[in-house]
Amino acid sequence: MRWGIPFAVVLVAALAVAGCGSAKGMAATTAPAAAQASAATATATSTAAAPASRANPPALALRRLPGAFNQPIYLTSPPGDPTTLVVVEKVGTVRVIRNGSLLSNPFLDLSGKVSGNNEQGLLSLAFDPNYATNGFFYVYYTDLHEYVRVARYHISSNPDVADPASATVLLSIYHPHSNHNGGQLQFGPDGLLYIGVGDGGLEGDPNNYGQNLHVRFAKILTLNVRVAHPKPVTYAYGLRNPWRFSFDRLTGALWIGDVGQDKWEEIDYLKRGTSPGTNFGWSYYEGDHVYKPQAIDRARLRFPVFEYSHALGNAVIGGYVYRGSAIPALRGWYLFADYGSGRTWAMDGPRGQARQISLGAGIAPVSSFGQDAAGNLYMLSLGGGVYEIVRK
């Protein structure tokens, strides 16, 4: 079965053989460096005409943060707090790093409520833009009863610990399969909470949920959390498994890493202000390629700004546009990676060329990128490492 992101399986392999990804579609991973470079040229393509752009991003490296983590899967910070990092662990716990030190007690522990089978688990956390005054944050997880849940929590009287009894479930989707859960939460520049939901699981979208506007699968949804009993609205559809997406904090543009099926991984892009209703084509298209030959008007679809084949990896991990101050030459570059191979790319805008970059030893399996309040970027590995991206 073609997976979305087979966490449990590849985690075991990664712990057994450091740096190795899934064997499926990974022939290029162990090829000599020259052959890998040739494969990158042949099988990674920008789908938009690229104007002249900066030739290459600066040389980068990874600096591992102290502390032991159990399947770290996301990282973020409270708005305006440059001293704090919050690490989400797939097993259901949320940890806090304060001024470089890992706090001993979890910020939140949902391990008794979360199913961790395959791609399931506690998958994301988003702080309310007004967290400093209202204390709200939101989590996305798969529960023990085959539901995807988005819930709001509140900080307790202790600023380092959430109130576990404060949960209000805002969205529930029955999801009987353990793959393609989506899982990203992000607040957009419009103040809405954006929610990524996969196509329901199994393989090949057997129920054609990707093109069905009457279900919540294969969508990016929005919730207006400022109103009582918010109703989800479809912002974009035709997505197989939008595992990680982010907003450029300068331009407000939306970048999406959508995990492919058997052949192609894709990066999608929407400029700020794009009206709801964009169709990214799954499951009639995988990237820019026909997957199911049903009749559909291509002119109505939005195709990726970049795609790469499974000669280079097997599941895209969407990242962030760097807007920090520590690495000025990296500003404006969008960084993303592949789950299985650990390959990382930097793309100079949606019409720029994606450059494969080296981060030193690299990590695999890559579970996510993260961004702190100051705009610094991080990479996480399900093997337990949390790394800051730094200038080499």
All structural domains of the chain, each given as residue ranges with its CATH number in brackets, are 7-391 (2.120.10.30)
Question: Do the strands 306-309 and 264-270 form a parallel or antiparallel pair, or are they unpaired?
Answer: antiparallel
pLDDT of residue 30: 28
6 — pLDDT class (breaks 50, 70, 90): very low
Mean pLDDT taken over the chain: 89
pTM of the model: 0.90
Average pLDDT of the residues in 54-72: 94
More confident site: 49 or 297: 297
Number of residues that this document lists for the chain? 392
Greatest alpha-carbon span in the chain: 57
| CA 146 to mean position of chain CA atoms | 21
Please answer whether residues 98 and 84 qualify as being in contact, where contact means their C-beta atoms are separated by less than 8 angstroms.
yes
Average pLDDT of the residues in 31-59: 58
How far is residue 41's CA from residue 120's CA, in Å, rounded to a whole number?
34
Give the list of residues 6+ apart from residue 208 with CB closer than 8 angstroms, or none.
Answer: 283
Q: Is 71 left (phi over 0), alpha (psi -120 to 50) or beta?
A: left
> How wide is the angle at C-alpha 25 spanned by C-alphas 60 and 44, nearest 5°?
50
pLDDT in tens, 167-222: 999 999 999 999 999 999 999 999 999 999 999 999 999 999 999 999 999 999 99
Give the helix ranges, DSSP H, for the chain: 7-16, 33-43, 131-134
277 — pLDDT class (breaks 50, 70, 90): very high
Range name among 3-7, 81-85, 331-335 with the lowest pLDDT average:
3-7
Average pLDDT of the residues in 254-275: 98
Please answer whether residues 139 and 122 qualify as being in contact, where contact means their C-beta atoms are separated by less than 8 angstroms.
yes
Average pLDDT of the residues in 323-338: 97
pLDDT of residue 43: 65
pLDDT of residue 268: 98
**At 81, which amino acid appears?**
D
Question: 18 pLDDT exceeds 60?
Answer: no
pLDDT in tens, 114-172: 999 999 999 999 999 999 999 999 999 999 999 999 999 999 999 999 999 999 999 99
Average pLDDT of the residues in 278-306: 96
Buried b (16+ CB within 10 A) or exposed e, 52-77: eeeeebeebebeebebebebbbbbbb
pLDDT of residue 13: 38
Give the list of residues 6+ apart from residue 94 with CB closer than 8 angstroms, or none.
Answer: 86, 87, 88, 106, 107, 108, 109, 122, 125, 139, 162
Average pLDDT of the residues in 66-79: 96
